A and B are shown apart, each in its own frame.
Chain A
Amino acid sequence: AAQVMIMGPDDHIVSVVSSLNKPFGSRIVTPSGILLNSQIKAFSWPNKTHNSRPNPHNSLQPGKRPLSFLMPTVVRPSNGVCGTYIAVGSSNGAKALSGITQVLLNVLSSRKNMSDSLAYGRFHPQLEPDTLLVDSEFLDEDVELLLAKGHKVERIDVLSLVEGTRRTNDLIVGVTDPRSADASALAM
C-alpha cells in the first residue's frame, strides 16, 4: 500500500492509504498505461484456497467493497486542543494492524518518541498457522521472553512499514520507518 501522512499549517491532519491489492495489482495494463487493481481477490469465496474458512460477511456481491486492512489512523487529545496529535499508516495487509498497535502503544503508553517507536522491532501474531512472526529488529532477548510464555516464534526480515507524523503543541515532526530505503519525511 502507498502511504501519505500530512499535518499542514491549516491545522488539518490527513492520512491516505491507497493500493492495487497486490504488487502491480492484476498486472493488466491498458494501452494508455493505466495499471489495474486486483481488489476482487480481497473478497471471500468458497474454495478460494485450501482449508480456508471464507468469511460470509465478505462474500462477493456487485457494488460491494471488500474487507481491507488499509488503516489510516489519527490520534488527538481527548480533552481540549493541547497535547499529542498523531497520524499513522502502515503497509502489508493484516500486518498493518499489529504494526500500528505497537507503534501507538510505544508513543501513548510507554511515552517513547516517534522515531524510536517506529524503529523498535515488531511482531505479528499470525492466525494460521499459530505463529508469532518477529522482524529482524526484534531483540533476541525479547524472543526468549516470548518463547517462555509459550509463543511459537518465527523471525522474518520485514513485517510492515509504518510511517507517521506527530504534533506536540506547536512542534510537528514527520517520521519514516527506518526499514524503508525510500520513504521520506519533511518538516518545516
Chain B
Amino acid sequence: FAVAKDATPETTLGTAYSPVDYMSITSFPRLPEEEVMQGDIAYKSRKDDDNVLGEQETDPDIFLRSARLQRLPSSASDLAYHDTVSLRETTKDPFTQDCACQRDGLSVIITACLTFATGVTIALIIQIYFGDPQVFHQGAVVTDVARCTSLGFEVLGKQGSSVDAAITAALCLGIVHPHTSGLGGGGVMLVHDIRKNETRVIDFRETAPAAIRDGLLQTNLDLNPGLLVGVPGMLKGMHHAHQLYGRIPWKNVVSMAADVARNGFNVTHEFAEALANVKDQNVSDAFRDLFLPNGQAPVSGLSSRRLDLARILDAIAVKGISEFYSGNLTQEIASTVQASGGVLTEDDFGNYSTVLEQPAHINYQGHHVMVTPAPHAGIGLITALNILEGYNITNQVPRSSTYHWTAESVKIALALASGLGDPMFDTSVSETVSKMLSKAQGSLLRQMINDSQAFPVSHYTPSFSLEDGAA
C-alpha cells in the first residue's frame, strides 16, 4: 500500500489512528490514477470534492479524479478515499490538539447520553412512585370462609385492586355464609391508601324506611317481622367502592362471585351450626324450603349450590345495580316485606344512598389508628386507647394490671358508645363524639380508675342498654 511504504513515524502514527478502518480502505475500488498525491494536489482534490460539479477544472488529472469521484457511492469507502489522498506528514499528533469539529461531536454525544439517562431516571422514579406496580409482589387476604379467601386472592392475581378483591370476597360471603351477610344486608368498608396516606369510609349500612314509626314497633314483631327490615345497602356500597377504587370491570368482579353460587361450595361448620340453631324455631316456609330441605340442617362439608343467587348476580353484573334498586327485584322485595307486616316501599330503594366519609382517628404510641365514625362504635375503640395510653402498657407491665386497666377502660368506652347515634339526624351526637375522641377526657377518665378495685360502669359514666349479640 503506497501510504504505508513511504511512511515516516509521523505518518504511521497518523494512519494508525485514522478513523477509517483497514477493510474500508482495501475494499475501495482502485483507480489507475490512484497514486500518492502531493499535498497541494490532495488539497485541491478535496476542494473539488466540496465543489462537486461546480466549476470545471483546468488540470485534466484533477478533472478526471473529480469526475470519477462523482460516480462513487456515498459510503465509508468514500470517506476512506479522501483520507487516503489527503494524508500528509505532520509534526505533531493531530489528535492531541483541540479539534473544534471533534469537540462539538463529543459534546453532542455526551449531552445526548446524559439527557437520555436523566430522562430515563426521572421516568423510572415517577413510575415507582405513581405508576402501577410492575411486579406482583406481596399481599394478604383474610375472610370468614376459605372459598371466599381464595376468590379474593384470585382477583388480586388477575391484577384486580384490593377493593375489587374485597367486593368479590364480600359478595362470596353472602352466598356461602348467608346467616352473616348478603345482598339483603349492609355494612361498612374502610379503605386506606398507603402511598397517599388517604383513608375513606364507605358506609352502606341499612336505613330505616320512610314510613316506619316508633309506635309500629310496639306490636308483636314476631308476627310482623317485615317491620325489622331496613333498606339494604350492600350492593350500592360495593358499587360505590368499585367506582372509587375498581380496576377490573364491575361485570367481572360480580361474575366471579356468581360463579361460586353456580358452581357450588361446601357447607361450612359455622353455617351448619347456625342452621341447626334455627331448625326448631318458627321460620317461614320459604326459609325452610331454601335452607332446611326435608326439615334437616345440612351437615358441614356437604356440597351446595345457590342457582337463585347466581341468576341475581348475573343480572346485576350485566345490567348494574339498577336491577336491584329500581327493577323487578325492588318490587319483589317490597311486596315480600309488606306481606310480612313491613312498610318498606320501592321509593325507599330509590332514595337510598351510601355515605362517603373520613374515618375517626387518633395517635396511639406512635401509631395512627383509624376507625369508622358514628353511628358506628369505632369511636369507642379510640376512647379505650386514649385511656390506656396513659398507663404506658408494655410487655414488662404485670398482666394483672394490664387486664384490669383494659377491662375498666373498655367498660367506660362501651358505656359512652351506647349513647351514640346517627349524627346526620342528631347534632348532639357530635358532642359525645368530641368527648370520646379527646385525650384530655381520656386522662380524666383514667384518673377515675382505681388500680386495685373494679367498679360498675355507673361509677364512671351513665350508659344505655345495648342489644345483646347484635352485629
B-chain residues with CB within 8 Å of residue A39 when the two chains form the complex: 185-186, 205-206, 228-230
How far apart are B74's CB and chain A's nearest CB, in angstroms?
55
CB-nearest residue of chain B relative to A24?
A: B179
B210 at the interface (CB under 8 A from A): yes
Output the least CB separation between B321 and chain A (Å): 14
CA distance A171 to B100 in the complex (A): 57
Q: Please indicate the chain B residues that have their CB under 8 angstroms from the CB of A185 in the complex.
A: 140-142, 149
Given the known inter-chain contacts A101-B381, A125-B411, A151-B407, please indicate yes or no for A68 contacting B376, CB distance below 8 A: yes
Instruction: Give the shortest distance, in Å, between B170 (CB) and chain A (any CB).
Output: 5
In contact, B182 and A34 (Cβ under 8 angstroms): yes
Interface pair B367/A108, CB less than 8 Å apart: yes
Contact with A along B239-253 (1 / 0, CB 8 A): 000000101000000
Which of B207, B363, B470 has the most C-beta atoms of chain A within 10 angstroms of its own C-beta?
B470
A24-B179, A62-B212 known; A69-B400 Cβ under 8 A: no
Residues in A neighbouring B234, C-beta threshold 8 A: 18
Smallest Cβ distance from A186 to chain B, in angstroms? 5
Q: Does B337 contact A (CB under 8 A)?
A: yes
The complex places the Cα of A175 from the Cα of B386 at a distance, in Å, of: 26
B residues near A53, Cβ cutoff 8 Å: 463-465
Cα–Cα distance between A14 and B152 once the two chains are bound (Å):
12
Whole-angstrom distance between the alpha carbons of A84 and B368 in the complex? Answer: 10
Q: Are A63 and B419 in contact (CB under 8 A)?
A: no
CB contact list, A35-75 vs B, under 8 A: 35-49, 52-75
Contact B207 A27 (CB under 8 A): no
Stretch touching chain A among B28-36, B89-97, B270-278: B270-278
Indicate if the CB atoms of A181 and B286 lie closer than 8 Å: no
Kindly identify, within residues 120 to 165 of chain A, every residue whose CB is under 8 Å from any CB belonging to chain B.
123-125, 127-128, 130, 132, 142, 145-146, 148-151, 161, 163-165
Interface contact A65-B162, CB-CB below 8 Å: no
Contact B368 A77 (CB under 8 A): yes
A64 touches B207 (CB 8 A): yes
Structural contact, A102 and B137, CB atoms closer than 8 A: no
Contacts of B308 in A (CB 8 A): 32-33
Q: Which of B142, B311, B400, B404 contacts A183 (CB 8 A)?
A: B142
Cα A93 to Cα B469 with chains together (Å)? 5
The answer to whether A91 has its CB under 8 Å from any CB of chain B is yes
- A127, B457: Cβ atoms closer than 8 Å: yes
Interface segment out of the listed B8-16, B64-72, B189-197: B189-197
Tell me whether B173 is interfacial, beta carbon within 8 Å: yes
Query: Inside 8 A of B187's CB, which chain A residues have their CB?
Result: 1-2, 16-19, 70
Give Cα distance in the complex from A51 to B178, angstroms.
Answer: 33
Least Cβ–Cβ distance between B295 and chain A, in angstroms: 16
Q: Which residues of A contact B340 (CB under 8 A)?
A: 26, 28
Say whether A105 contacts B388, CB under 8 Å.
yes
Given contacts A23-B278, A185-B149, contact A97 B381 (CB under 8 A): yes
Given known A14-B190, A22-B470, A28-B336, contact A40–B393 (CB-CB < 8 A): no
Say whether A18 contacts B173, CB under 8 Å. Answer: yes
Check A4 against B367 for contact (C-beta < 8 Å): no
Which residue on B lies nearest to A19, using beta carbons?
B471
Cβ of A173 within 8 Å of any chain B Cβ, yes or no, is yes
Q: CB-CB < 8 A to B278: which residues of A?
A: 23-24, 27
Nearest Cβ distance between residue A39 and chain B, in whole angstroms?
Answer: 4
Task: Say whether B426 contacts A57, CB under 8 Å.
Answer: yes
Q: Using Cβ atoms and an 8 Å threshold, which residues of chain B touch A34? A: 182-184, 309, 312, 329, 333
Q: In the complex, are the beta carbons of A149 and B178 less than 8 A apart?
A: no
The chain A residue sitting closest to B268, CB to CB, is A182
Q: Which residues of A contact B207 (CB under 8 A)?
A: 63-65
Q: Specify which of A97, A98, A182 lies most central, judged by the most chain B CB atoms within 10 Å of its CB.
A: A182
Complex: A96 Cα to B471 Cα, angstroms:
9
Interface residue from A20, A69, A71 paired with B184 (Cβ < 8 Å): A20
What 3 pairs between A and B have smallest CB-CB spacing?
A: A18-B187, A57-B421, A33-B308
Point out residues on A near B: beta carbons under 8 Å: 1-49, 52-79, 81, 83-85, 87, 91-94, 96-98, 100-102, 104-105, 108-112, 123-125, 127-128, 130, 132, 142, 145-146, 148-151, 161, 163-165, 167, 170-176, 180-188
